[in-house]
Amino acid sequence: MTSSDSMNASPLGKSTVYPTEYDPSLLYPIERKPMREKLGITGSLPFFGLDFWNAYELSWLNLRGKPQVALMNFNVSADSPNIVESKSLKLYLNSFSQTRMDEAADLIHVLRNDLSDAFGSPVQVSLRQQGDFASAKLQELEGLLLDRLDIGVDTYAPDPSFLKSNQEEYPVEETLVSNLLKTNCPVTGQPDWASLQIHYVGPQIDQEGLLKYIISLRTAQEFHEQCVERIFLDILRKCKPQSLTVYARYTRRGGIDINPWRSNFTSGKRPQLLRTARQ
């Protein structure tokens, strides 16, 4: 099946009957490989990373028939062979709405197994139940805000030529943030909005050029994971940092947000799992 055929077969952009009984076949995997080939990745990955997912619309029944609700968090490695189409995840999670479970731990076990099968790689799942809702605090990404720059912009198609760095000066270590990232779903064309954090060690990156580059992605049509990998590769190729991490916090769609993180930092330190104001 070609990448185009795979997208046509997905539930995205189609009228849907929402199931209410558990059905793991609703999960729709999409191979990462064709998306990465479009970015020029054909061998070993130039990064490691994780995709952090949050789902805000999860409900099931206890054995007495009383509805239960929770916030779901899970993460999957960037080297998993597949992503899962987000609408299919929504349909899958809704299929628990009339399904009885003895305990939340039983639900976690089912979720972990089904998602691991769909992604083709182990998935770590946790639930935040009602007693812990108050601990879900809002916090913004740390770093110097690029959006403070007063720039003129007239390019809204991906243009990595904006990316420049000062190769003549000593390396610096910086964390830069923007809330102006927008891309579009490659199937439905719906807008995807995100905040972006870039941490690097290397020649100092021209901040105005970086902001123009981020804005130039405004008409790009890519899944969240592919977009973050494009940004990582463009910065790596054009600015030549010694170390680089790119992290995006996307706003939710269909009660789900996806937050890809890619890095070549040898420390492998995970990002702060925060929820921003727009999420």
Residue 261 to residue 271: CA distance in whole angstroms? 8
Amino acid identity at 45: L
- Other Cβ atoms less than 10 A from the Cβ of 51: the count is 22
Amino acid identity at 44: S
- Other Cβ atoms less than 10 A from the Cβ of 73: the count is 16
Catalytic member of 51, 185, 227, 257: 185
Q: Report the 3 state secondary structure along 49-81.
A: EEEEEEEEEEEEECCCCCEEEEEEEEEEECCCC
| Active site (annotated) includes residue 227 | no
Contacts of 263 (CB under 8 A, 6+ apart): 47, 48, 49, 243, 244, 245, 246
Q: Which two tokens stand for residue 179?
A: 């809330």
Residue 128 to residue 99: CA distance in whole angstroms? 19
The answer to whether the beta carbons of residues 6 and 31 sit under 8 Å apart is yes
| Active site (annotated) includes residue 192 | yes
Catalytic member of 114, 147, 159, 192: 192
Return the closest-CA partner of residue 251 out of 222, 217, 278.
278
Active-site residue set: 185, 192
